[in-house]
Amino acid sequence: MDRDLMVKVGAAKVDGMTDSADLALALRLADQADEIARRHFRAPDLAAERKGDGSPVTEADREIERVLRASIRAEHPGDAFVGEEFGAQGHSRRRWIIDAIDGTASFVMGDPEWSTLIALEDHGDVRLGMVSAPALGRRWWATPGNGAWTGPCPSDPSAPPSRLTLTPRGNAQDAAIGIWPPPSRLSATDRDAAARLAAGTATVLPALDWSTADHPTPPPSKPSTGSGTCHGALLVATGILDAFLLLGAGPWDIAAVIPIVEEAGGTFSDLSGQRRTDTGAALFARPDIHQQLLTMARATD
């Protein structure tokens, strides 16, 4: 990776609790994750197991998390860490939040829309977000006050990073929204909220009956499938969708994309309107419709 260019673009003006050294470390972590993931991706012996929640996990998920934990511990032994596969470690105002492979099901199937999510939280505020999608050849990153950026992975001097910028357009009734997971995997409360959003907006992906818990046939694809991005929130940051609602999520699913969406000009909250990553719900949206969507999701008959 041409780390110098990415650090210069992404953290030239960083101040406060996160600096360019943290971004440089995140880039090295992404490089490590990319190398491991490429080695396992589409390998003939790649196998997945089912975790207690029914989601798949591979040795690539575990190896990436182990290696990134060790790298962070070597450079910042006092930092805390939380990952999807091995849980939390340590107590500190600084906490790294890692999803080794977001989109393991796609990874196992040989589809390219998966990524490693890397975030750094300081005093409960996410100060750095990095998404690396080596099979797509793309990365996205942001630090507060320095914009959201995307660039090729590995970097290409002839194609420098470009800044992500959202512009207001229309209202919630005209919006295109992505929702995940499908209604059959949601609680009754979350399904009701999703159904209200689906009914109140112009377009919803996937196009399902969100009011029923029936299993759709065939199983639906994530909103990001075929879009060139690997996480629904990035569809908002890049202007492909107006909003994205993720339900039943862990902090590792959410944290890395918060600064990317916000620095692109978007907004983030849970369904109560709080900027939290521990409630299981995450709504990313253009700022002009965020409150409209929250009101819609919370409406009762």
Q: Where is the domain boundary, 163, 184, 215?
A: 163
Q: Where is the domain boundary, 145, 163, 181?
A: 163
Query: 184 and 110, same structural domain?
Result: no
The pLDDT of residue 17: 43
Query: 218 and 142, same structural domain?
Result: no
The pLDDT of residue 7: 56
Query: 291 and 144, same structural domain?
Result: no
Kindly report the CA angle at 221 between 220 and 226, in degrees rounded to 5? 150
Burial class (CB in 10 A: 0-12, 13-18, 19+), 258: buried
Check which CATH number belongs to the domain holding 12 and give it: 3.30.540.10
Query: 198 and 61, same structural domain?
Result: no
What is the pTM for the complete model shown?
0.92
Query: 279 and 149, same structural domain?
Result: no
User: For residue 94, what are the domain limits?
Assistant: 3-163
Specify the number of domains making up the chain.
2
Query: 243 and 151, same structural domain?
Result: no
Q: Where is the domain boundary, 141, 163, 185?
A: 163
Instruction: Write the pLDDT tens digit of every residue in 159-210.
Output: 889 999 998 887 999 999 999 999 999 999 999 999 999 999 999 999 999 9
Q: Cβ of 120: how many Cβ atoms within 10 Å?
A: 27
Query: 190 and 118, same structural domain?
Result: no
Check which CATH number belongs to the domain holding 257 and give it: 3.40.190.80
Query: 148 and 14, same structural domain?
Result: yes
The pLDDT of residue 55: 87
Query: 149 and 9, same structural domain?
Result: yes
Query: 225 and 135, same structural domain?
Result: no
Give the pairing of strands 80-83 and 94-102.
parallel
Query: 150 and 189, same structural domain?
Result: no
Alpha helices in the chain (DSSP H): 3-11, 20-40, 59-75, 104-109, 188-200, 232-237, 251-254, 257-263, 287-298
Question: Which parts of the chain register pLDDT below 70?
Answer: 1-18, 300-301
The pLDDT of residue 15: 40
Query: 99 and 239, same structural domain?
Result: no
